[in-house]
Structure 1
Amino acid sequence: MSTSNAAPKTAMQRFLDGVERVGNMVPHPVVIFLILIVIVMVLSALFSAFGAAVTFERINAETHEIETATTEIRSLLNADGIRFLYASLIPNFMSFTAVGLMIAAMIGAGVAEESGMVTALIRKLVIVSPAWALTYILSFVGILSSIAADAGYLVLIPLAGVAYLAVGRNPLAGLALGFAAVAGAFTVNMLIKPLDAVLVEFTNDAARLVDSNSSISLASNIWFSIVSVIFLAVVVAFITDRMIAPRLGVYDPALAADGTMTEQGATLSEQESRGLHFAGLGLLGLIIVFCFLTIPSWGPLRNPDTGELIGNSPFMNGLIALIMLIFLVTGWCYGIGAGTLRTLTEVIGAIEKSIKNMGGTIFLFFVLSQFVAYFTYTNIGTVMALSLSGALQAANIGSLPLLLGFIVVVAIIDLLLTGAIAKWAIFAPVFVPLLMKLGVEPEAVLAAYRVGDSPMNAITPLNAYFALVVGFMQRYDRNAGVGTVVALMLPYVVWMFVLWTALFAVWQMLGLPWGL
């Protein structure tokens, strides 16, 4: 990546250039999974030919007695395997429920984004922040912005620079703060978001390699995520105030490039304010409806047999519907108030646009569904997990060191493969069963993945929005480049990774619940 800085490149910049070159050689995720499918086919044939199998003890689900079972690796290249490859192509995709969950969530999110509600809401939160609390509120809102995916990158980061400039602080520090908050904690939120649906579904598919009845809910990491959001918001704000802002010093407007964004968009228009008011009324109405459906003991969304609400109930099992409705209702109400989405036809158009934009993701899911199905059929993951868990149990290494090592591995891989979904599709079938055999809950493995997957997003040039952030910084400093961004983000990445990993370790050692 070229920069506007004519000075000789530092060692760090040369290193990052090398990382970028290597990263550019990494094929498209679809190609990666096609290669992995071929590898699984070949390995299944080889292992099956050598009779690879594992014998283990398990509890019979019907008799609840301990029994001995043997799992063999099945080949995808013999007659049975070829029949499976041919006949299961469509069933594999149709049973891949992550597709349905993602589309349902994006129906609502598409309306909220297209109406302008997400952008206006973020701007409103920035505007009402007191000067003394601006850093902490920006950090908190930046982390929460991941509920709308790209909105944080495209809206919160530049607005953080504008907000800092408006209160007389260095806008580069505001941009760094926004990037660290949006990217460095991307996998956690105080709300359930579409990404959670996919990660949980992959986790359940992997857990069923060990226990066919194993299942975790969409809210399985919610307590850890809520605490992580608060914890990381404080960490990001503290680093900004104590490390980044002092290093940058007083901003020199002479460094700004022509056409720099100053205080443009610092206030909401009358239409936007009315739209947010309408959205609030819509949310209130939706809350009233769901209170009627859940609070009474006879509520139809409670468990009809036990009356339970939090746990195994229609309300929790269909939580994705509530998320979709929140975005859909508030987005449409905002559109009516702001005049951006007035008619049902316009709302349908916003939904269609959102679904069209998912074309690449749906195709990726098609290939992913085949990989998951083939990997499950061969029993490679089961045999690998049982064999490794037996060796690790004998070595008495312990589950916590394995979890911490897993976090480090995910972080390193994230430098070259930034997609959270693609990496978890690879890691889940191996590490979830392995750690389950060591007594670790699937929820804990997923929480460890969240920790490892996020902080590096703020430092790898392979992040799709890294170049965008460089462009934002060049508005305020024409000499800014990749090295500028990396130098600013390194303290965030290091401290967020270390402190968040420590929080995870303490959580695991105390045996605290990860979620619902």
Structure 2
Amino acid sequence: MATANAAPKTAMQRFLDGVEKVGNMVPHPVVIFLILIGIVIVLSAVLGAFGAAVTYERINPETHEIEAASTQIRSLLNVDGIRFLYASLIPNFMTFTAVGLMIAAMIGAGVAEESGMVTALIHKLVAVSPSWALTYILAFVGILASIAADAGYLVLIPLAGVAYLAVGRHPVAGIALGFAAVAGAFTVNMLIKPLDAVLVEFTNDAAHLVDPSRSIGLASNLWFSIASVLFLTVVVAFITDRMIAPRLGAYVPDNAVDGAGTEAGAALSERESRGLRFALYGFIGLIAVFLLLTVPAGAPLRNPDTGELIGNSPFMNGLIALIMLMFLVTGWAYGIGAGTLRTLAEVIAAIEKSIKNMGGTIFLFFVLSQFVAYFTYTNIGTVMALSLSGALQAANIGALPLLLGFIVVVAIIDLLLTGAIAKWAIFAPVFVPLLMKLGVEPEAVLAAYRVGDSPMNAITPLNAYFALVVGFAQKYDRSAGVGTIVSLMLPYVVWMFVLWTALFTIWKALGLPWGL
């Protein structure tokens, strides 16, 4: 890392430096995933030859009915496996949603960045906020960014780096802060989001196995989620200020890429102020359009069947479009006002530049998409998850220890299966009925799942955006690698998991309401 640390390093800092050194010895992320693909192919063949399988009950994602199922390891080296390897190459990449989300987000973000609006906004935020509050603001916004699904990874994380650079702090610390906030608390929010609708529906399907009249609503975890957002904001900000920033030290931009370390002045020029006014006009106009599309009864972006807006609706399911348009419209409006981006041709050039810079990431996603598809095809992750959950189920321990054990199992499996919906479809019919029979309300089981499912997102390389975060860090330090990010995220993951689990335990012990 390009740092200037004068103070002696603590034992923990030396340990994390060791983790970074070892981690950065690993090959390029593309090579890592090629190796993992080879391991999955060989492992699937070996386990498939021994007939490894597991029988269980699951929720059918189409009918939402409980059905018996049997999953066995599928080999990638038999006739069917080889056919899949050959025929699925392009479909695997085309169905990898992270690529589409990234390109859509960068269309808008590229215009906002090229026009200078991002820098001006950061400087405005710095000017109106106390210096101590910046970390807390970024952590809070990062956690709330999950309302826009994966857009937080693409927008908030690099912005956090820019914000830290603007106040003279190490930008990689800002990137770590953004990643911890966006990924480590992904399942909670202060608002109802599309993910909640799916998780609640699966919870109800499982609860009906015990009590057909027992159902929970979309806001069944609202109070716990709100408390978790505020609590984790403090945890993430505290770790950043007390552990991550001191370890990185002062930023020395001699190892940055293309002048990325240049710190702009804090004062806004007259052109920048005029640009921000124009951006505000563009933002107001865009909001007015979306109010017409969402507020009236029968509006196009409401659910055509139920009329709901928050939850399962076109508006929430396509929120990335709003994010893209927000940056595109306000960025162009800023460019007009500031005189940095006036014509449509200049806007298109900014978009092309933004997407052109993603060439390496798109290639990485191509390889990553193959690994994810092959790993899913073999059922290795599913069999492992079911085996662990079966062992926990058979442990015959009390309700609270079982809940805590459930959180640990979910966290372990999240290293391999990062999709929150896919895991809950497996775990819900096992643990919701089991814990309900022990007197635990389904709301508590779902809250426990939220705690276990989130923190590990910030450390597993199977997170589709992990490699992208490595790229963000390399903008400011060419030597940054996988080990750099792992060493930075370890303190967040450990303390968020431990303290959030403690919060859950206290909440349960006090009998506080989980939501509405």
TM-score range, shorter chain: 0.5 to 0.7
Q: Which sits farther off after the overlay, 55-64 or 85-94?
A: 55-64
**What code does the residue aligned with 1:136 have?**
A
Alignment match of 2:431 (pick from 439, 444, 450):
439
TM-score normalized by structure 1? 0.68
The answer to whether the 8 A contact 2:274-2:338 is kept is yes
Q: How does 1:151-300 map onto structure 2 within 5 Å?
A: 151-161=158-168, 181-182=177-178, 184-187=180-183, 230-234=230-234, 265-300=265-300
What is residue 376 of structure 2 aligned with on the other side?
376
More divergent stretch after superposition (388-397 vs 105-114):
388-397
**Aligned CA-pair RMSD:** 5.0
CA contact (8 A) 1:190 1:225 kept: no
Of the structure 1 ranges 138-147 and 49-58, higher mean CA displacement relative to structure 2 is found in: 138-147
Instruction: Summarize the Cα distance change of 1:282–1:192 in structure 2 as closer, same or farther, 3 Å threshold.
Output: farther
Structure 1 contact 112–118 (Cα < 8 Å) conserved: yes
- In structure 1, the partner of 2:455 is 451
Amino acid of the structure 2 residue aligned with 1:269 = S
Would the alpha carbon gap of residues 224 and 375 (structure 1) be closer, same or farther in structure 2, given more than 3 Å must change? farther
Q: Distance in 2 between matches of 1:128 and 1:75?
A: 59
Q: What CA deviation, in whole Å up to 9, does each residue of 1:297-349 have, x standing for no partner?
A: 02111122222212222111211111111111111111111112111111111
**Map of 1:466-477 to 2, 5 A cutoff?**
none
Aligned to 2:42: 42
- Structure 2 regions of 5+ residues with no counterpart? 146-151, 207-218, 247-253, 255-260, 433-444, 461-468, 479-486
- Confirm whether residue 403 of structure 1 aligns to residue 410 of structure 2: no
Q: Is residue 146 of structure 2 the alignment partner of residue 139 of structure 1? A: no
Cα distance change of structure 1 residues 4 and 392 upon mapping to structure 2, 3 Å threshold? closer
Question: Mapping of 1:289-328 within 5 angstroms?
Answer: 289-328=289-328
**Which sits farther off after the overlay, 364-373 or 318-327?**
364-373
CA pair 84-238 structure 1, distance change in 2 beyond 3 A? closer
Deviation at 1:21, TM superposition (A): 2.7
Trace 1:390-429 onto structure 2 (pairs within 5 A): 390-396=390-396, 398-404=402-408, 407=411
- The whole-number CA distance in structure 1 between the counterparts of 2:380 and 2:53 is 9
Alpha-carbon deviation of 1:122?
Answer: 1.4
Look up the SS of the partner of 2:300 in the other structure: coil
Q: Deviations over 1:153-177 (max 9, x none)?
A: 543223334xxxxxxxxxx8x9999
* Cα pair distance change 1:390/1:489, threshold 3 Å: closer
* 1:188–1:226 CA contact under 8 A, matched in 2: no
Q: CA deviation at 1:364?
A: 1.9
> What one-letter code is carried by the residue in structure 2 that aligns with 1:360?
G
The one-letter code of the counterpart of 2:326 is I
The alignment partner of 1:55 has SS state of strand
Alpha-carbon distance change, 177 to 23 in structure 1, aligned in 2, over 3 angstroms: closer
Closer, same or farther in 2 for the Cα pair 1:318/1:495, shift >3 Å?
A: closer
Q: Do the aligned partners of 1:189 and 1:225 also contact (CA within 8 Å) in 2?
A: no
- Aligned mates of 2:231, 2:265 — CA distance in 1: 30
* Distance of aligned partners of 1:307 and 1:269 in 2 relative to their CA distance in 1, 3 Å threshold: same
SS across alignment from 2:70: strand
Q: Helix, strand or coil for the counterpart of 1:100?
A: helix
Q: Secondary structure at the match of 2:82?
A: helix
> Whole-Å Cα distance in 2 between the matches of residues 494 and 95 of structure 1?
33
Separation of aligned partners in 2, 1:288 and 1:513: 32
In the aligned structure 2, how far is the partner of 1:322 from the partner of 1:340? 23
Alignment correspondent of 1:30: 30
CA distance in 2, matches of 1:371, 1:490: 24
Distance 2:475 2:42 in 1: 41
- Cα distance in 1 for partners of 2:69, 2:262 equals 68
Distance in 2, matches of 1:264 and 1:62, equals 53
Structure 2 counterpart of 1:290, one-letter code:
F
